[in-house]
Structure 1
Amino acid sequence: MVRWIAVLAAGTALAGCATHSADIAPPSAEAAPAVPAAESPPAPKPTYGTFGFDAAGMDTSVAPGDNFYAFANGTWTKNTPIPADKSNYGAFTVLDDLSRQRTKDLIEEQSKDPNSRIGAAYASFLDEAAIEAKGLAPFEPWLNEIRGMKSKAQLDELYAKADHLGIGGPFASYIGQDANAPDVYTLVMLQSGLGMPDRDYYLSKDAKQLETKAKYLQHLTNVLTLAGETNAAARAQAILDYETKIAQVHWTKADSRDRTKTYNKMTLRDLAKRAPGFDFAAYMRGINVNLDSVVVAQPSAVAGEAALLAKAPLGVLKDQLLVRSIDSYSAYLPKKFDQESFSFYGQTLNGTPEQEVRWKRAVDFTTGVLGDDVSKLYVAKYFPPETKAKADEMVKNIIAAMDRRIDKLEWMTPETKVKAHAKLAAFTPKIGYPTQWRDMSGVQIDRSDLIGNAMRSAQFEHNYETGKLGGPIRRWEWGMTPMTINAYANPTMVEIVFPAAILQPPFFDPNADDAVNYGGIGAVIGHELSHHFDDQGAKYDSKGQLIDWWTPGDTKAFTARLDKLVEQYNQYEPLPGLHVNGRLTLGENTADLAGLTVAHDAYIASLNGKAPPVLDGMSADQRFYLGWAQVWRRNYREPNLRQRLLTDPHSPSEQRGNIVRNMDPWNQAFDVKPGQKLYLAPEDRVRIW
């Protein structure tokens, strides 16, 4: 490997790409006059830097071996403020802004047609004067249903109606594949009932958390007051006390991500016995679910919540649902409701000073209610076939690299390797956009009825989801729009999915150096692929079934490696006194480690034995890892980072960037020495896939 070049480490700025012309000998006197050669068009330049990496954002005063993330991104971090309407800012948010601007242009073009449903949905959100003039009236019929509840016998019906409207109740649920029978849809029920992000917000004695809880109490009071309710402060305190009891029976985030613990299939009769206090059968009928059995993710929490429902005063339950309803629909209500919701969920929980301008939220709303209709327009204009073709090729290369790595694993037995190869062969990569679009014509849109549009859309989505029951698995379906800056892995579908909008710089640039692209989108592809082999994804076989396909020896060896990664991440302290939860973030950390390792193998294989060039004094391996660090550039507001550390299964960006410390090629490329902060002795480096 080429070591780090001294001139770059000294902080020399990297110049722009120079243009080189071939030397042309002048014609001799005897020669005929030369015909001027046609000039070739200049080669297209990458979006960032000379080869796809923004070297101006580096801080070369930091040694790579001390903090690689800061070395690659330190100057960008210091010089990049977080916009007032954002809780964090980085590569993902830059592309999200671009995606929404492009989507806005497409929507506004559609709006020129007075018959456009897309234009009508957009206009309904933008018409603030009409929203203010109507006040709470369009929502009052639903709120009055809540106020009019006379007995707990009506609870199951009311919570079912709330579910139709997309309003959270005591239990969350979704229609998904049965993990033990992935060719069948079922209903999965989960713990819910909290107005703050997690149980720790209620139970922690940390000063910051206590401050947040006090602000939540004020928020509850304010919402009840705005809704015209009397004695708001005392009623708000009763809601908080009730939710604190719910928090006490909730599972932790780390336990809730365990796919084995959370697969608990039971009949409705068994559920009623285990969780008395709530009429689950009536609730299921109310949400149009006709099943004999369901999967309960956190049985003890659901049982605990049912018991609390039985004991709670009716007034408290009504008030909680009233507040939850207003918060859920606040974006469609007059400004005082919208601002109150933002003041807590935006400002307090995430530290965001200002709400996004109205058009951005209007784009989100329009995309939400007419997703596939808008998506078709976006794909047609912004996702060229050549981008898809190159991404498809990279996916194939990375899958092939993962296949080779399985053969080289010293800790996995031959019989398990056969099954691992079979699982890899069963993968369905989805790139850019779905092969089939949903029919959105059933969503009734009225440009003068924003609340109605939102409610009808929620009802349409509810019916769409429950309509899956008893039918074939919709393998063409996507869980994100093509405009989304993200990607995902679905273990029961045995698929990896990459929306069109993430296949852009800095993740992927067709004009950039291959090393940077493999370190960027290649590692992201590897990340999603390896999710199917992380601590939870590895529990699913080649058919997407939750089944133990490992030998005991394999499981023991795998777990030992995972435990080392947990311990490594537990040591990181992004905020004073608040560490990364290595167990909660294990799946994402494993996917980062494996994805980057596999992508590096794929890059080396793509060279076909040729020596890669040195560009601007950087070796290919250096460019590869810098490509990885660049995509994780992100600045956080403190409350947002705090919330992420408590609830997010992803580690913060700095720790994600520094996963490279476990990789031999990185240590060699940057000449990392003992004594440097990121140095790990070879025997201490975590190697899984």
Structure 2
Amino acid sequence: MACTDAPRLWCALRFSALVRSTRVTLRAITLAAALCCAGLARAAAVPDFVPDVDPAQSACTDFNAWANGRWIQANPIPADKSRWGSFDALAEKSLNAQHDIVENAARTADQAAPGSIEQKIGWIYRAAMDEAAIERAGFDPIKKDLAAIDALATHADVVTWLRQAHARAEGRTFNFGVSADYKNAKRQIAFANQGGLGLPGPEYYSKDEYAKLRTAYVAHIAKLFELTGAPAEQAQARANLVMALETQLAAASLLRVELRKPENQYHFVTVEEANQLTPHWDWAEYFKVMKVDAGIKSAGGFSLSQPKFFAAFDQLLAEAPVAQWQAYFAFHAIDGASPALAKAFQDEHFAFYGKTLNGTPEQEVRWKRALAAVNGSMGQALGQLYVKQYFTPEAKVRAQQLVDNVRNALKARIENLDWMSPETKAKAIAKWQTFLPKIGYPDKWRDWSGLSVTPDSHYANLRAARVFNQRHQLAKIGKATNRYEWSMTPQTVNAYYSPSTNTINFPAAILQPPFFYAKGDDAINYGGIGAVIGHEAGHGFDDQGSQFDGEGNNANWWTAEDRQRFEARANKLVAQADEYAPLPQYPDKHANGRLTLGENIGDLGGLNMAYDAMVKATAGQPDPMLDGLSRDQRFFMNWAKVWAGAIRPEAQLVRLNTDPHAPAGFRTNGAPSNMPAFAKAFSCKAGDAMVRPEDKRVVIW
């Protein structure tokens, strides 16, 4: 039932603090009353925003603090998490659903059809939960690997061992995988990329501000050596060797912001050309060991993506002492296996990567770590079971409608741009026409018949799955690109855009409240999943995606003048993000506007697209004023609710260097502050912090 005038006025007076920073206007009092009375007039499938609002804040000064302040206070970060927010809460819901599935699979695995995904999932989970067996094994599962490393005597031995490690899907020093050819996206080719570092990025090995973290990392390396029986002095000496080698690799590595550029992601060479750059590393022999030589030959070569890194890697192969390579290989063998070894190894791994690096006080409970092992091994198979129980056909149909409407809004925005020439617009529309939306889960599920696992060997299961999954991926080299394949599991609370396939992908698990209500209010859905849909579509036209055409090729479809106009607008968004300092205790630490540019373009364009789509979808319909909130207010309130959250300072510091996403507070505020519709919805005025000045307001798509 609707609120009466009397309680509305009482609520307005009670919550007058809500408007004290925005001037006490009739509209502001009405809004305050509506927020208070929301609890008296709940509507079906509408989230309750009122408890989250902090009346001491102002929507026009800091929308995130106002809309999410009380939620953040009432939802402290769990002890086993480095952050907590709406995304994480929904992910936890997905984990609980998956937990039920794998527990049932483990109970019934022995009676399940032999070789079925139910049996394999059940056995992987059961073995991962058998802590007694894992403890008895100690570090036995990797003793043969460590003995083989100890036996290395020459640089030729080092090269041979490294090839074999890669073939076991235990890559060291560099990363090797498969993706679409940047110049011919219809085919899959191999990519060799920089890697081999244990710290979050190259800058951690040189900047003074990370000196203490480097010391802690060396101590972590030494501790792992000690756990395998090395005397303390020897362990420390080997740890120093590892750090020295990684420091040299880091000096030749590109920073993450540099890796955003397509020209730093792709460098196609023949095998002969690659061998000239790395005379001590024979790529032809490597490809034979990896069993991809036929695919490489079919493709005519591969991407040696960061030549400077591989030149340094080759030099180290020739010049670094064998003992140094032994220390490096041994440490990464232990470190990579630690989560699957005895408790002392698990605890040490968490002590550094969880506590020291991210400030997380406690490890996750065992079942969550066991579930992570299932997802890492057979994630798509688990997704097959997940969607049977948790994703309805009706939800898929409604989601498809939203996708279509938001995509159409993007087309209209492109057609109406005042800064882009007709020539470039035609190319942009051509790209738009080739978008492939994928919703919920794959049309065709993977075949798992070649994977062999047991109910009683956790580490052996993980290794078998790694090899199986690597073979599945590498078998694509030289073959046609499959646009319908997913790189994210259905149970993942996320979404993504792939520039090489020009697809936008929305897993089943994100198609739930607060993002999506299958039978819910339009404003809520467009402010939540609608903005996510727009965000992913916007990636097709961000600083990276705009350098790929509709076929997925890295190709320039812009006039020079239009590209300059795009860059000028993007630079204003860079400047806006650069201003944001998320940690009061570290006022000099700011978001990296260049690193987060793609995500921020996605947010800004996506929210605008979603708003336009909502307006069109509801044209001619009266505003129902659900809970006393207008349609526009509900739209922006759910956008804020999606990004509600907090993060530990240690984790935020790492993410400022490594995460292409801006901090959650900026994501709540950044895009709306550039939208006149937001200012109108909340009666914000020129000069308010949530109203960007005209000369700084960013409009791109």
TM-score interval, normalised by the smaller of the two chains: over 0.9
For residue 612 of structure 2, what is the aligned residue in structure 1? 601
For residue 177 of structure 2, what is the aligned residue in structure 1? 174
For residue 578 of structure 1, what is the aligned residue in structure 2? 589
- Counterpart amino acid of residue 601 in structure 2: T
For residue 650 of structure 1, what is the aligned residue in structure 2? 661
**Quick one: distance in 1 between partners of 2:631 and 2:27?**
11
Deviations 1:293-314 (A, max 9, x none): 2112222122223223322111
- Counterpart amino acid of residue 684 in structure 2: V
- Counterpart amino acid of residue 318 in structure 1: Q
> Aligned Cα RMSD in Å?
1.8
**Quick one: distance in 2 between partners of 1:391 and 1:688?**
26
- Point out the more displaced range, 505-514 or 280-289: 280-289
For residue 367 of structure 2, what is the aligned residue in structure 1? 359
Could you tell me how far 1:122 is from its partner in structure 2?
A: 0.8
- Point out the more displaced range, 285-294 or 94-103: 285-294
Task: Name the SS for the 1:572 alignment partner.
Answer: coil
Task: Name the SS for the 1:220 alignment partner.
Answer: helix
1:319 lines up with 2:331 in the alignment: no
1:102 lines up with 2:97 in the alignment: yes
Q: Is the 8 A contact 2:241 2:328 kept in 1?
A: no
TM-score (norm 2): 0.91
- Point out the more displaced range, 243-252 or 530-539: 243-252
For residue 154 of structure 1, what is the aligned residue in structure 2? 157
Q: Is the 8 A contact 1:126 1:359 kept in 2?
A: yes
1:65 lines up with 2:41 in the alignment: no
Could you tell me how far 1:78 is from its partner in structure 2?
A: 1.8
Deviations 1:309-351 (A, max 9, x none): 3221111111111111122121211111111111111111111
For residue 22 of structure 2, what is the aligned residue in structure 1? none
Deviations 1:379-438 (A, max 9, x none): 011001111110000000011100111110011111111111111111111100000000
For residue 239 of structure 2, what is the aligned residue in structure 1? 236
- Counterpart amino acid of residue 526 in structure 1: G
Query: What pairs with 1:62-461 in structure 2 (closer than 5 Å)?
Result: 62-113=57-108, 114-115=110-111, 116-206=119-209, 209-230=210-231, 231-290=234-293, 291=296, 292-461=300-469
Q: Is the 8 A contact 1:11 1:60 kept in 2?
A: no
Task: Name the SS for the 1:112 alignment partner.
Answer: helix
Could you tell me how far 1:13 is from its partner in structure 2?
A: 2.8
**Quick one: distance in 1 between partners of 2:687 and 2:280?**
60
CA 249–3 in structure 1, closer or farther in 2 if over 3 Å, else same: farther
- Counterpart amino acid of residue 372 in structure 1: Q
For residue 40 of structure 1, what is the aligned residue in structure 2? none
Task: Name the SS for the 1:457 alignment partner.
Answer: helix
Q: Using the aligned pairs only, state the percent identity.
A: 39
For residue 614 of structure 1, what is the aligned residue in structure 2? 625
Could you tell me how far 1:15 is from its partner in structure 2?
A: 3.8
CA 257–521 in structure 1, closer or farther in 2 if over 3 Å, else same: same
For residue 519 of structure 1, what is the aligned residue in structure 2? 527
Could you tell me how far 1:274 is from its partner in structure 2?
A: 2.6
Q: Is the 8 A contact 1:10 1:61 kept in 2?
A: no
Task: Name the SS for the 2:264 alignment partner.
Answer: coil
Could you tell me how far 1:562 is from its partner in structure 2?
A: 0.7
Of 673, 680, 696, the residue aligned with 1:668 is 680
Could you tell me how far 1:644 is from its partner in structure 2?
A: 0.5
Q: Is the 8 A contact 1:3 1:669 kept in 2?
A: no
Task: Name the SS for the 1:150 alignment partner.
Answer: coil
Q: Is the 8 A contact 1:99 1:483 kept in 2?
A: yes
Could you tell me how far 1:11 is from its partner in structure 2?
A: 9.5
Could you tell me how far 1:56 is from its partner in structure 2?
A: 0.6
For residue 5 of structure 1, what is the aligned residue in structure 2? 28
**Quick one: distance in 2 between partners of 1:126 and 1:423?**
48
**Quick one: distance in 2 between partners of 1:194 and 1:452?**
25
For residue 692 of structure 2, what is the aligned residue in structure 1? 680
Could you tell me how far 1:465 is from its partner in structure 2?
A: 1.0
Q: Is the 8 A contact 2:406 2:530 kept in 1?
A: yes
Could you tell me how far 1:487 is from its partner in structure 2?
A: 0.6
Task: Name the SS for the 2:190 alignment partner.
Answer: strand
- Counterpart amino acid of residue 270 in structure 1: E
CA 609–15 in structure 1, closer or farther in 2 if over 3 Å, else same: closer
Could you tell me how far 1:354 is from its partner in structure 2?
A: 0.7
- Counterpart amino acid of residue 61 in structure 1: A
- Counterpart amino acid of residue 315 in structure 2: A
For residue 478 of structure 1, what is the aligned residue in structure 2? 486
Task: Name the SS for the 1:498 alignment partner.
Answer: strand
Could you tell me how far 1:12 is from its partner in structure 2?
A: 5.7
CA 609–12 in structure 1, closer or farther in 2 if over 3 Å, else same: closer
- Structure having the larger proportion of residues in helix: 2
CA 228–681 in structure 1, closer or farther in 2 if over 3 Å, else same: same
**Quick one: distance in 1 between partners of 2:518 and 2:511?**
10
- Counterpart amino acid of residue 620 in structure 2: G
- Point out the more displaced range, 359-368 or 260-269: 260-269
Q: Is the 8 A contact 2:570 2:597 kept in 1?
A: yes
**Quick one: distance in 2 between partners of 1:277 and 1:62?**
62
CA 14–182 in structure 1, closer or farther in 2 if over 3 Å, else same: same
Deviations 1:545-596 (A, max 9, x none): 1111111111111111011111111111123221111111110011110001
**Quick one: distance in 2 between partners of 1:665 and 1:515?**
13
TM-score (norm 1): 0.93
**Quick one: distance in 2 between partners of 1:472 and 1:247?**
35
Task: Name the SS for the 2:608 alignment partner.
Answer: helix
For residue 636 of structure 1, what is the aligned residue in structure 2? 647
For residue 21 of structure 2, what is the aligned residue in structure 1? none
1:536 lines up with 2:547 in the alignment: no
Q: Which runs of 5+ in 1 are unaligned?
A: 20-42
**Quick one: distance in 1 between partners of 2:59 and 2:26?**
12
CA 276–677 in structure 1, closer or farther in 2 if over 3 Å, else same: farther
**Quick one: distance in 2 between partners of 1:125 and 1:494?**
37
- Point out the more displaced range, 664-673 or 560-569: 664-673
**Quick one: distance in 1 between partners of 2:279 and 2:645?**
47
Q: Is the 8 A contact 1:156 1:286 kept in 2?
A: no
Could you tell me how far 1:645 is from its partner in structure 2?
A: 0.3
For residue 547 of structure 1, what is the aligned residue in structure 2? 555
- Point out the more displaced range, 212-221 or 156-165: 156-165
Q: Which runs of 5+ in 2 are unaligned?
A: 1-24, 112-118
Could you tell me how far 1:615 is from its partner in structure 2?
A: 2.7
**Quick one: distance in 2 between partners of 1:275 and 1:4?**
69
CA 642–588 in structure 1, closer or farther in 2 if over 3 Å, else same: same
Could you tell me how far 1:161 is from its partner in structure 2?
A: 2.5
Q: How many residues align?
A: 658
Task: Name the SS for the 1:59 alignment partner.
Answer: coil
- Counterpart amino acid of residue 333 in structure 2: S
**Quick one: distance in 2 between partners of 1:414 and 1:687?**
18
- Point out the more displaced range, 592-601 or 602-611: 602-611
Could you tell me how far 1:492 is from its partner in structure 2?
A: 1.0
**Quick one: distance in 2 between partners of 1:297 and 1:361?**
33
Q: Is the 8 A contact 1:65 1:678 kept in 2?
A: yes
Task: Name the SS for the 1:342 alignment partner.
Answer: helix
